[in-house]
Structure 1
């Protein structure tokens, strides 16, 4: 029989905790709480209420006897004798208040169910009007019965009407619940912490760091951690092999290129020679871009840098190459990044803007939610919105796009996005206020 999923109402989902720690705690605490409530309810209903009812009935019987004895002989001597007998045998304090009436006000008790039990027992045993108060005195109950000529006031010990040990039971239940909850929190926190360490290590590795991590926690969590470590080693080995391959290819290609450049420098200058030198320069630039893309973030550590100064330095380098760049840079912004990788990525974005637009503006500003935005705007032709994602693909050269230039091989945006995502941020494209393209690097705080 196929299993069906139990759908939780959306309103209830919003009330449920979202963390693993909260949900695990709920799984343990909720059944314990329900069990404790059920046991407490059963105790009150089946035991405490029953015992209290019997005690109240016994007290009501004694009071009915006292009222009947008074009505049989209301003389002062009989009342005095009745009080002595009630005090010695029944622990009741009886006094006759001549000409008095029953009070009209009644103060409610915290345990209304117990008052109802005593009220029912007195109503069943007495024909006379009565009134009682369980709140005025801590150890006694004040009971008054209307009789001929006044009120018979009776003080009875509280434990003669109520099972007074109920609060001790409740206290033990509360202590047991708190103890079980504390133990559950300690064990769950220990297990969840192992998962949190695994998530932190995975996040750090995703940013290009090499975290020190040892498997902890339950067997399943350790298995996941060991699988992560094995995956990390495979990825690192793959990156190292790719970088070594590209470095080797780059080295092998640079040797004949250097010889060709030397031979051209020694040859007679002519128009064809200048074209060949341009082709060689383009080939050398392509090799540099291939190697930069293959190298990625390898080898460079993350540092806390003054982003404002770094961006101004990149802009100054571009201006020395003949570009005119507007800047809006908020000073004193610090963030964690790989300086050389960031410099290369920002330079690529600026070069793309300069190659396709008349105006280029670089903006650095903090985000209200934390982090820093570095935007490169221009007034060029831009890229259609449906081609934004395609522009990030390595070696992509869009027709009439920003990736198509004389020297580029379609790696500039890919390198810049890899840099941003490696830091936990992102690179997004949008329409610029200048009319062209906006490339926005979103860096974490």
Structure 2
């Protein structure tokens, strides 16, 4: 597959652009400001500062050329005194002759090379004699020396005669304006992004089944509209859940009444051959009603509490031992997590009971993940499930009889309820082949 240069550049930028809305919004605002300020600064230095500096240097070089030529025309002390007086009065130049001297051999250049290059170019164009200059020795002056037949003509000029010295003020104001604009942009973006983050937090909490007070929409008009729409949707979903739970609870209550009468009639009836089978059917029907109601309710309204995970696993192990399995429980001492205890206990009991029903040995382990989350594994040595049926195993009312020889009392909701509970805590359940030979159910919860 061939990529065009534009596609390669696009892929490169996509990997480098921040993934968060905060980072991208900041980039959208800050990047143009920095580009604009950089362009303005470059234009200022190229079109103004360099041009002004070049003209100042050219004017200074012309004055120095005048002083040097005037002295060579009449190299007498009297003429030198006249040149010195005129240069000081009209050009702000200090001129002195150092007799029997030569130009220094050491070249001293400033940090801003453009100043030295501009001045050197101007002197080279105007002054015929060898020259030397230094822009670093005196902060406010420029030292220029011209070789004369009987010595060195030294000229000290104010620095503003050679370079535009007020450029740093423009740059300083430009930097202050940039910082001010970026600060305002950052505060504005942060306020807008925070409103979206609060909406995401409310949506995530609702997805976990947590009951939170209604939050007040903040931010831009579009964000407030999205928050209002979410709140209306959340209320509709909650009403639907409440209605479904109430309906199933009512159906469960109505079904339990005839089942109770049947159980009473069987207890009072004379013994007969199918009595035990009928009692078993009644027990299975009651178990199915409990499973349906638990799946529909999901214990979503339960508040999270700090739970001893090890104690919960040991209790689930005791229940699994009653089925006849050999159970091993491994959990660090003092391992706790914020969980909805009734719902999570039901999920663990479902997984442990399922493992005990299909295997002779069951292992329950818990550990803390490096990220701070919680991991619980339930392993067994049963027949397991083919990998291509892992997803189907979580489907409500799915019974994988061929692979698991499922208990006749099951209705195919054990794994579905367990996954619903795990996802309600912000995590998930995955299935894998266990090192014990059977199935491994792995619960991972975030920190």
Q: CA deviation at 1:370?
A: 1.9
Per-residue deviation, 1:204: 0.7
Alignment match, 1:397: 399
Which residue does 2:140 correspond to in 1? Answer: 139
Equivalent residue, structure 1, for 2:29: 28
Query: Which whole-Å CA distance do the structure 2 matches of 1:170 and 1:52 have between them?
Result: 16
Query: For residues 388 and 403 of structure 1, what CA distance do their matches in structure 2 show?
Result: 16
The answer for the alignment partner of 2:107 in structure 1 is 106
Deviation at 1:321, TM superposition (A): 5.2
CA distance in 2, matches of 1:238, 1:56: 83
2:97 aligned counterpart, secondary structure:
strand
SS of 2:246's equivalent in the other structure is helix
Give yes or no for the alignment of 1:16 onto 2:3: no
Alpha-carbon distance, 1:175 to partner: 0.8
SS in 1 for 2:396: coil
> Contact 1:96–1:151 (CA<8 Å) still a contact in 2?
yes
C-alpha distance after superposition, 1:187-236 (max 9, x if no partner): 11111111011001001111111223111111111111111111101110
1:145 shift after superposition: 1.1
Mark the CA change 1:210 to 1:403 in structure 2 (over 3 Å): closer, same or farther.
farther
What corresponds to 1:348 in structure 2?
A: 350
Residue in 1 that maps onto 2:127: 126
- Paired with 2:85 and 2:291, the residues of 1 have a C-alpha distance of 111
Q: Distance in 1 between matches of 2:229 and 2:308?
A: 37
Partners of 2:422 and 2:256 lie apart in 1 by 30
SS of the equivalent of 1:9 reads: helix
Q: Is the 8 A contact 1:392 1:413 kept in 2?
A: yes
- Residue of structure 2 equivalent to 1:169: 170
Counterpart position of 1:335: 337
Contact map agreement 2:358 2:405 (CA 8 A) in 1: no
Residue 8 of structure 1: how far off its partner (Å): 5.7
Greater shift, 105-114 or 428-437, is seen at: 105-114
* Length-normalised TM-score, structure 1: 0.95
CA distance in 2, matches of 1:183, 1:98: 63
C-alpha distance after superposition, 1:308-337 (max 9, x if no partner): 222222222333554421111112112111
Matching of residue 288 in structure 1 with residue 303 in structure 2: no
- Equivalent residue for 1:429? 431
Say whether the 8 Å CA contact 1:107–1:133 is kept in structure 2: yes
Structure 2 equivalent of residue 188 of structure 1: 189
TM-score (norm 2): 0.95
Contact 2:431 2:441 in 1 (8 A): yes
User: Displacement of 1:117 after TM fit?
Assistant: 1.4
The answer to whether the 8 A contact 2:323-2:356 is kept is no
The alpha carbon displacement at 1:369 in A equals 2.1
Which of 259, 267, 281 is the matching residue for 2:261? 259
**Paired residue for 1:46?**
47
- Structure 1 regions of 5+ residues with no counterpart? none
Kindly report structure 1 stretches of 4+ aligned residues shifted beyond 6 Å: none
The residue aligned with 1:69 is 70
Aligned to 2:252: 250
Contact 2:299 2:342 in 1 (8 A): no
CA–CA distance in structure 2, aligned partners of residues 301 and 354 of structure 1: 29
- Give the 3-state SS of the residue equivalent to 1:400 in structure 2: helix
8 A contact 2:324–2:356 mirrored in 1: no
Q: Secondary structure, in 3 states, of the residue corresponding to 2:401?
A: coil
| Farther-moved stretch of structure 1 (207-216 vs 193-202) | 207-216
1:401 CA displacement: 3.1
Cα distance in 1, alignment partners of residues 405 and 345 from structure 2? 19
Residue 178 (structure 1) shift: 0.8
Match of 2:3 in 1: none
Give the length in aligned residue pairs.
441
